[in-house]
Structure 1
Amino acid sequence: MEQTQALEIIRSLAKGADPATGEALPAEHVCLQADVLSALSLAMEALQRAASAQKKNQGLPPSTGKPWAPDEDQALVAAFDAGSTIKQLAAAHLRTNGAVRSRLMKLGKIDPHQKP
């Protein structure tokens, strides 16, 4: 089940409607109890945040936000010293150009005041 589908089901239940038919749930239905409505509301907010985060991260390289391992630092420096461009390094390490540039600065390979 996709997150969007789950969100629609939870949204329907939180509004007191049967997700399959759209009909109003009976007044005694468990989903209309105050604690269940609160739980549905929290679940809906969590799914919305997850969907927003997923949308924001679409198109970013897979290693975005992950820590750099010492062996990755060594490979990065070796390739940079051998003449690889930041764009080439970013592609090889599955990171953004900015992440590679920042890492090279931290490792003392690029002057922070040097323009990209």
Structure 2
Amino acid sequence: METRRANEIVTLLSDGVDPHTGEVFSADSPYQHPDTVRALFLAVKGLERMEKYEQRKEALPENAGKAWKKKEDGLLAEGFDQGRSIHELCEAHGRTKASIKARLVKLGKIEE
């Protein structure tokens, strides 16, 4: 199940509405109990955070957050020495601009 759909369902439950029929739960329904409503609101907040995390993760380059390998360090240094731009290096390595710059600092190619 997608996080967005789970969030929609839990939001409806927290609003006291059956997500499948659209009917409002009766006052004696467990979904109308204050503790249940509070728990569902917390679940909604958690699902919203998950959804934002998933969206951000999709927007990042494929290797963002992954460890650097010695071979990749060598290719990065070689590319930099050949005059490739930071943007070109980002594309070639599937990394963020900040990651490329930090690695070049670590390799002694640029100053912080």
If the TM-score is normalised by the length of the shorter chain, which range does it land in?
0.7 to 0.9
- Alignment map for 1:1-116 (pairs within 5 Å): 1-112=1-112
User: Aligned pair in 2 of structure 1 residues 69, 43: CA closer, same or farther (>3 Å)?
Assistant: farther
Q: Give the Cα–Cα distance (whole angstroms) in 1 for the partners of residues 42 and 67 of structure 2.
A: 31
Q: Give the Cα–Cα distance (whole angstroms) in 2 for the partners of residues 39 and 76 of structure 1.
A: 49
What are structure 1's unaligned runs of at least 5 residues?
A: none
Between the two proteins, the alignment pairs up a number of residues equal to 112
User: Aligned pair in 2 of structure 1 residues 31, 70: CA closer, same or farther (>3 Å)?
Assistant: farther
What are structure 2's unaligned runs of at least 5 residues?
A: none
> Which stretches of structure 1, 4 residues or more, deviate above 4 A after TM superposition?
none
Ranked by relative contact order (alpha carbons within 8 Å, sequence separation 6 or more), the top structure is 2
Secondary structure in structure 1 of the residue aligned to 2:59: coil
Could you tell me the TM-score, scaled by structure 1's length? 0.76
Per-residue deviation, residues 66-110 of structure 1 (Å, max 9, x unmatched): 332333223322332344332222111101233212210122111
Aligned CA RMSD, in angstroms, stands at 2.2
Q: Give the Cα–Cα distance (whole angstroms) in 2 for the partners of residues 72 and 34 of structure 1.
A: 55
Following superposition, the deviation at residue 57 of structure 1 comes to 4.2
Question: Identity over the aligned pairs, expressed in percent?
Answer: 39
Q: Give the Cα–Cα distance (whole angstroms) in 2 for the partners of residues 63 and 29 of structure 1.
A: 48
Secondary structure in structure 2 of the residue aligned to 1:80: helix
Q: Give the Cα–Cα distance (whole angstroms) in 2 for the partners of residues 72 and 30 of structure 1.
A: 56
